[in-house]
Amino acid sequence: MSTTTENKFQEIISHAKEYGFVFQSSEIYDGLSAVYDYGPYGSELKKNIRDYWWKSMTQMHENIVGLDAAIFMHPLTWKASGHVDNFSDPMIDNKDSNKRYRVDHLIEGLADTLREEGKKEEATALINKMDQLLAAEDFIALKELLISNNIKCAISGTANWTDIRQFNLMFSTEMGSVAEEANTIYLRPETAQGIFVNFLNVQKTARMKIPFGIAQTGKAFRNEIVARQFIFRMREFEQMEMQFFVRPGTQKEWYEYWKEARLQWHLSLGLPAEKYRYHDHVKLAHYADAALDIEYEFPFGFKEVEGIHSRTDFDLKNHQLLSGKKMQYFDNDIDPATNKPYGNYIPYVVETSIGLDRMFLLILSHSFAEEKWTKEDGKEDSRVVLRIPAKIAPLKLAILPLVKKDGLPEIAREIMNDCKGSFRCFYEEKDTIGKRYRRMDAIGTPFCITIDHQTKEDQTVTIRYRDTMQQERIPLAQVKEKVLAATL
């Protein structure tokens, strides 16, 4: 990361803390690495992103329904899903510092530096080579790649590496009070398995016909060895996942459909298309026949925010095998090739999986701006503003009486009472209007209205727009409608 982008990222992190978006978990005990808490505005923003996703998936698709499965699942779930045997990252230790690294992170770090130095082709060649070796699980050649590129430990400054080994990322705990009888169970590393094991319950009770989807949001846990970049890579995080069940043989066309549909979801928030790109996977996860990442250009470079995976029938087939329960669907649509119903089969699955915390960081990265300008009187002015899309902004409207007297607070309270059932409002009468505007800019409130003495005369208020800082006078009666139109 260059110094400027590093600085910008540090400013975003400080701003997130100062204005009540994100706190380090258990901060009074010096924190817990890669675990974070969301404060008053952070929890609102997070909820709004979740709701925006949920609505787009369920309310806007008649053939997608929701689920809220438990975090704990039967231990065999993770055997069937392949996570017990395959959910690991290749890691390497530096013998001098005893620091452990993910091998792909070390190589990506060098590729980032090469790009910053303008050596784009070298960076691409390095990443391609790494992808090839990871796909072949050739850890000897991968270690040679580290050494031949002179990749060193940031702490010891040496290239004195151990061999590369695989580490499983699942957290385990025990269920049951008596140690000998206790069962090892896992904290789910993805929410998807709760959907797979409930596939027939949902299909039957909601009377779904293929193709159909099941959407779920919830916590997932991974013992990330190298947890970096604030809330980008956490040990406890939240996913928003949708499994779309399709007829075998049609997975490719649904994969293309969801690849496009999910990018459009991001753009529907007004996020810039040029900040996005697709990245096809070379090394496929153990369950996939095709996979790609939707990447966004964070201050630290293009990184994955969402995955689209064609998961075949891998999960349902293995759950059928280990549970002994049929995971089949009866398709009574007529197959034109045989003129008979398609009949019984295990559906194929196309998954869309986005990290809620990562989307939150994306929104912060996109929104954060420091602005400076010269006023008409020649004096300098500045502000820090979060240009959060209005639809997901933590607060939608600030209601500000100009002074604490002359009946203005009473009018402001009336507006508050009228609007607060429809969207999140904020009432404030302390400090100058300028200071109050700045505070609202800093937490991304798209609209402020000021109630002044003229309001008493003609029932108009001044509305101020966060992004342009323009102000205009509008009838009081139009405020609610205007905010609703921009935020729904």
Beta carbon nearer to ligand GAP, 83 or 466:
83
Q: Write the binding mask 291 to 320 for ligand GAP: x where contact by CB under 6 A, - elsewhere.
A: -------------xxxx-------------
Strands 290-298 and 100-102 turn out to be: unpaired
Report the residue number whose CB is nearest to ligand GAP. Answer: 355
Beta carbon nearer to ligand GAP, 357 or 452:
357
Q: How far apart are CA 232 and CA 217, in angstroms?
A: 18
How far apart are CB 239 and ligand GAP at their closest, in Å?
A: 5
How far apart are CB 231 and ligand GAP at their closest, in Å?
A: 7
How far apart are CB 488 and ligand GAP at their closest, in Å?
A: 26
How far apart are CB 243 and ligand GAP at their closest, in Å?
A: 9
Beta carbon nearer to ligand GAP, 46 or 358:
358
H helices present in 268-355, as ranges: 314-323
Query: Please, which residues have CB within 8 angstroms of residue 174's CB and are 6 or more apart in sequence?
Result: 182, 183, 184, 185
Beta carbon nearer to ligand GAP, 88 or 97:
88
The pair of structure tokens assigned to 439 is 């505070």
Q: Which among 108-116, 235-243, 258-266, 458-466 is the span making contact with ligand GAP, rule CB under 6 A?
A: 235-243
22 scored as a contact of ligand GAP (CB under 6 A): no
* Residues 204-233 within binding reach of ligand GAP (CB under 6 A): 222, 224, 233
Nearest to 46 by CA among 372, 364, 397, 276: 364
Beta carbon nearer to ligand GAP, 82 or 427:
82
* Residues 167-206 within binding reach of ligand GAP (CB under 6 A): 190, 192
Q: How many residues bind ligand GAP (CB under 6 A)?
A: 19
* Residues 29-68 within binding reach of ligand GAP (CB under 6 A): none
Phi, psi of 485 (to 5 degrees): -60, -35
H helices present in 118-268, as ranges: 120-135, 139-148, 192-197, 199-205, 251-267
Look-up of token digits 């996939």: 288
How far apart are CB 219 and ligand GAP at their closest, in Å?
A: 11
DSSP state letters, 376-408: TTS-EEEEEEE---GGG-S-SEEEEESSS-TTH
* Residues 236-275 within binding reach of ligand GAP (CB under 6 A): 237, 239, 241
Q: What share of the chain is helix, strand, coil (3-state, %, to 5)?
A: 40, 30, 30
* Residues 331-360 within binding reach of ligand GAP (CB under 6 A): 351, 353-355, 357-358
What are the C-alpha distances in Å from 103 to residues 64, 122, 149, 179, 292?
38, 18, 13, 36, 20
Of 234, 263, 399, 448, the one binding ligand GAP (CB under 6 A) is 234
How buried is 33 (Cβ within 10 angstroms: 0-12 exposed, 13-18 middle, 19+ buried)?
Answer: exposed
Instruction: Please give the residue ranges that form the binding site for ligand GAP (CB under 6 A).
Output: 190, 192, 222, 224, 233-234, 237, 239, 241, 304-307, 351, 353-355, 357-358
